[in-house]
Structure 1
Amino acid sequence: MFRILFVCHGNICRSTMAQSVMTELVRRAGRDTDFLIDSAATTREALGCTPHHGTVAELKRRGIPVAPHRARQITAAEYGDWDLIVGMDDENMGDLERILSRSPAWHLDGGARVQKLLSFVADGDASPAPRDRTGRVRDVADPWYTGDFTATYRDVLAGCEALLAQLTARA
């Protein structure tokens, strides 16, 4: 079983969207029993909250079931529980390092389990491109601030499709 944890700032927009999208992609591929998918926050700001209404509306518009979820914060003790921990932006990646580097398992692999979602997308496979002009992996924009849940969905879908393709190619 492959265990994936999606992480964003509050665990009510991007990470819950990615959890729902990836769960549905895995289901459609007939691989539900091969994956455990969850999401978490780097902060405590929205603990216990359900997914944001904008995330719910965008997923419903796309015909994707919303994974039942309440916001929670990732802990250092969880690092060894996941095969892959996927952050949405550079701030998440820094927060994940700060939180997870307290885990002894982190020090065994140097944090190799933590990756940014759009790092799975090959250049030319998404619009807009997954990398900026300097070659850095682009962030999945936070719709809490942008209000653009459609753009966030587009990035989340591209990242999840690319991730699933890479994981199933290995299996």
Structure 2
Amino acid sequence: MMTKVLFVCMGNICRSPSAEGVFRHMVAEAGLADVVSVDSAGTHSFHIGEPPDARAQAAARKRGYDISGSTARLVTPEDFREFDLILAMDWENLSALQQQCPKVYQHKLMLLMRFANEFEEATVPDPYYGGPEGFNKVLDYLEDACQGVLELVRKRATQYQAA
């Protein structure tokens, strides 16, 4: 059984493609690439079709993540049905998702930082209007929270294999 995870931010060029890259790397290292699917999307159409922000790519590359292949896209109605976890970076994007999402799928919507163990912040800050240090802080948060998400999908994969 495939577990599908979607990371969501506003424009899908900074936080969510970074989360996708971090999590995809973790999933591959854990040997779960055949049972976990990862994607990212945005709640706003500002950057559709664009690659991730160059600063996000540079910060990710320094930590061994390649996010250059990602292309910004909008969340679609099908995403709510297709994905098992839809993880928003902040309250604004969670609210936008809640407004679009059919009630039957609302349980899939969560803040990504709910899975963090090291950091207590509720949201991943938007680094777009700041300097490079903001992108490094985002990666710190993403690595922490994605580790928690990995634990969840690993348990899910193990349960399905045992069944």
Find the counterpart in structure 1 of residue 142 from structure 2. 156
Find the counterpart in structure 2 of residue 144 from structure 1. 128
Count of matched residue pairs: 154
Confirm or deny: 8 A CA contact 1:15 1:88 kept in the other structure: yes
Confirm or deny: 8 A CA contact 1:19 1:67 kept in the other structure: no
**What TM-score results when the alignment is normalised by the length of structure 1?**
0.85
Could you list the runs of 5+ residues in structure 1 that have no partner in the other structure?
Answer: 101-105, 132-137
The alignment status of 1:130 with 2:120, answered yes or no, reads yes
Range 36-45 or range 62-71, more displaced: 62-71
Confirm or deny: 8 A CA contact 1:21 1:157 kept in the other structure: yes
The alignment status of 1:74 with 2:75, answered yes or no, reads yes
**What TM-score results when the alignment is normalised by the length of structure 2?**
0.89
SS in 1 for 2:72: coil
Change in 2 beyond 3 A, CA 1:107/1:7: same
Q: Distance in 1 between matches of 2:96 and 2:104?
A: 19
Find the counterpart in structure 2 of residue 22 from structure 1. 23
Could you list the runs of 5+ residues in structure 2 that have no partner in the other structure?
Answer: 159-163
RMSD (CA atoms): 1.3
The structure 1 segments of at least 4 consecutive aligned residues displaced by more than 3 Å after TM superposition are none
SS in 1 for 2:128: helix
Confirm or deny: 8 A CA contact 2:51 2:68 kept in the other structure: no
Amino acid at match of 2:115: F
Amino acid at match of 2:127: P
1:167 Cα deviation from its structure 2 partner: 2.0
1:108 Cα deviation from its structure 2 partner: 2.3
